[in-house]
Amino acid sequence: MPKKQIHLAAHFPGVNNTTVWSDPESGSQTDFASFVAFAQNAERGLFDFLFLAEGLRLREHQGRIHDLDVVGRPDTFTVLNAIAAVTTHLGLGGTINTTFNEPWELAKQFASLDHLSGGRAAWNLVTSSDAFTGENFRRGGFLEPAQRYDRAQQMLDAARELWLADGRPIDHHSAQFDIVGDFPIPPTPQGHPVLIQSGDSDQGREFGAKTADAIFSRHGSVEDGQAFYADLKGRMGAYGRRPEEITILPATTFALGDTEAEAQENGHRIRTAQVSPQTAIAFLEQVWGRDLSAYDPDGPLPDVDPDPGAQITRGRVRHEKDPLAVAQRWRELAEAKGGLSIRELIIETTAHQSFVGTPKEVARQMDDYVQADASDGFILIPHLTPGGLDEFVEKVVPELQDLGSYRTEYAGPTLRDHLGLARP
């Protein structure tokens, strides 16, 4: 039996503290030249697709714009269409919110991207519904979290009907949408764009199992990854789908070196740069829900408890559901590790790389991970823009190819070809 193949996607480093903007090699996050360099390198590395995240409002921390991380990004559709002009095979994946868009317009935009790229478009459907983001839109913050996947599903149903209408008139009605008309764009080279899903709740996983071609997950460790993989693929049968119809891709970071020791050192250097003293305090404040600016980042954790109700950061997905439990866990960890400082603790808990080692070793780790069904591949998030994947493409990709787990050429021009997906 041929070996299970690894899929790779390239996350253009965006708005988060992964990006080490303080590094002298860090270029612009927004100049088109950065996108060209990044995309062309990913295509040299035979990646399935380039991936863009999205946030529709600048994050705030303690009521003011968060100023410690990279911020600012171009419009997803516009930049992906431009990238289509400087690449030939690379898939173009955009995160587009289902709450603050309308099906007709979105279907037209994705159909245009798929036609103009020769069949390389993908849509990561996200559902964030918070009123904070809604303040930038006519819709406002009208959607309860419980309804957001209903709207996502109805949005997708409507978009799919438009994409596949092929001249037939549309008369579509759901709780969220009433759409009547003739969609002017014929079905695209891929039939319609590839669908990616990334929410992690029970509802999110059901939505993914039912609809997605690929999943962007956060489950990094082998055990965690295997559990998620089994859970998600296990849900597909209920929808008459086979496990291989979904490609599961966790967010992955890495650090390389010519020797194991050098890789560890590089990893440590990157982690330290990702968590500046100010970032360490801001992270802690997010969990504590309090102003902790009086605390020394190189000192011990605060002895006050978190305020469980308070949420002092807005505009970013909250991953910590129970602050008191987190604080408890962190205190124990700091003590177990011989009294970590605030900054050391934050580095320990938020900024570890998924894979560290020589290119050969990283390739082997990734291959083991995928062969163990902890995922089908990875969405790589490099710490530098735009050159953060250069060394990976140059050195790790050939090792993966040597292991027989990675393509040596694209099977065809469309993203569906790369993912082995049938036309809808």
Partner 1 sequence: MRTAHLAVEVSGFGRHPEAWRQAGVPREALLTPAHHIAVAQLAAQSGADFVALPDSFGAGSGLDAVAIAARVAPVVPGIGLVPTVTTTHTEPFHTSKAIATLDLVSSGRAGWEPAVSRTAGEAAQFGRKPAAEPAELWREAAETIEVVVALWDSWEDDAVIRDVATGRYVDRDKLHYVDFSGEFFSVKGPSITPRSPQAHPLIVLRAEPDSLAVAARWADVVRITAPDLSAAHAARERIRAAVTDAGRDPDAVAVLLDVEILLAADENAARRRFDELGELAEETLRVVGSPEAFVDVLAEGAVDGVTAIPLTLPGGLRVLADEVAPRLLAAGLRTPADPAATLRERFGLPRPANVLTGA
Ligand X SMILES: Cc1cc2nc3c(=O)[nH]c(=O)nc-3n(C[C@H](O)[C@H](O)[C@H](O)COP(=O)(O)O)c2cc1C
Question: CB-wise, 387 or 398, nearer to partner 1?
Answer: 387
Beta pairing partners, 97: 126
Q: Is 72 an interacting residue with respect to partner 1 (CB under 8 A)?
A: yes
Per CB under 6 A, the segment of 21-29, 105-113, 120-128, 172-180 that binds ligand X is 120-128
Q: Is 134 an interacting residue with respect to ligand X (CB under 6 A)?
A: no
Question: CB-wise, 341 or 349, nearer to ligand X?
Answer: 349
Query: What is the Rg, in whole angstroms, of the alpha carbon atoms belonging to the chain?
Result: 22
Q: Name the DSSP letter for residue 339.
A: S
Q: Is 197 an interacting residue with respect to partner 1 (CB under 8 A)?
A: no
What is the rounded CA–CA span in Å between residue 215 and residue 124?
Answer: 9
Q: Name the DSSP letter for residue 25.
A: T
CB of 281 to ligand X, least distance (A): 25
Question: Looking at this protein, which amino acid is placed at residue 148?
Answer: R
Q: Is 79 an interacting residue with respect to partner 1 (CB under 8 A)?
A: yes
Q: Is 82 an interacting residue with respect to partner 1 (CB under 8 A)?
A: yes
> Contacting partner 1 (CB under 8 A), which of 5, 16, 40, 81?
81
> Contacting ligand X (CB under 6 A), which of 29, 41, 127, 153?
127
Per CB under 8 A, the segment of 108-116, 219-227, 356-364, 376-384 that binds partner 1 is 108-116
Binding string to partner 1 for residues 22 to 61, with x set by CB under 8 A, is what? Answer: x-------xxx--xx------------------xxxx---
Q: Got the DSSP string for 228-286?
A: HHHHHHHHHGGGT--GGG-EEEEEE-EEE-SSHHHHHHHHHHHHHHHS-HHHHHHHHHH
Nearest to 97 by CA among 66, 63, 135, 53: 53
Tokens of residue 171, six digits: 């008369």
- Residue 317 site contact among ligand X, partner 1, none (CB < 5 to 8 Å, cut-off depends on kind): ligand X
232-236: long-range contacts (C-beta < 8 A, 24 or more apart)? 232/205, 232/208, 233/209, 235/205, 235/206, 235/208, 235/209, 235/210, 236/209
What is the rounded CA–CA span in Å between residue 252 and residue 110?
Answer: 27
Q: Name the DSSP letter for residue 30.
A: S
Considering only residues 148 to 177 of the shown chain, the ones binding partner 1 according to CB under 8 A are: 170, 177
Q: Name the DSSP letter for residue 191.
A: B
Q: Is 312 an interacting residue with respect to partner 1 (CB under 8 A)?
A: no
Question: CB-wise, 188 or 252, nearer to partner 1?
Answer: 188
Whose tokens are 């002017």? That residue is 184
Question: CB-wise, 9 or 345, nearer to ligand X?
Answer: 9
**Angle between helices 148-163 and 103-116 in degrees, nearest 10:** 50
CB of 408 to partner 1, least distance (A): 27
> Contacting partner 1 (CB under 8 A), which of 67, 258, 332, 335?
67
> Contacting partner 1 (CB under 8 A), which of 3, 25, 65, 311?
65
> Contacting ligand X (CB under 6 A), which of 21, 163, 183, 216?
216
Question: CB-wise, 44 or 73, nearer to partner 1?
Answer: 73
What is the rounded CA–CA span in Å between residue 63 and residue 135?
Answer: 15
Q: Is 343 an interacting residue with respect to partner 1 (CB under 8 A)?
A: no
Q: How many CB atoms lie within 10 A of CB 170?
A: 16
> Contacting ligand X (CB under 6 A), which of 19, 26, 87, 95?
95
H or E segment and range at residue 408: none
Q: Is 154 an interacting residue with respect to ligand X (CB under 6 A)?
A: no
> Contacting partner 1 (CB under 8 A), which of 95, 98, 99, 109?
109
Tokens of residue 321, six digits: 């559901």
Tokens of residue 410, six digits: 């694209």
Q: Is 198 an interacting residue with respect to ligand X (CB under 6 A)?
A: yes
H or E segment and range at residue 110: helix 103-116
Question: CB-wise, 109 or 197, nearer to partner 1?
Answer: 109
CB of 375 to ligand X, least distance (A): 12
What is the rounded CA–CA span in Å between residue 29 and residue 19?
Answer: 10
Return residues touching ligand X (CB under 6 A). Answer: 53-55, 95, 97, 126-128, 198-201, 203-204, 216-218, 251, 317
Return residues touching partner 1 (CB under 8 A). Answer: 21-22, 30-32, 35-36, 55-58, 64-65, 67-75, 77-79, 81-82, 84-86, 100-102, 104-105, 108-109, 111-113, 115-118, 135-138, 170, 177-182, 184-186, 276-279
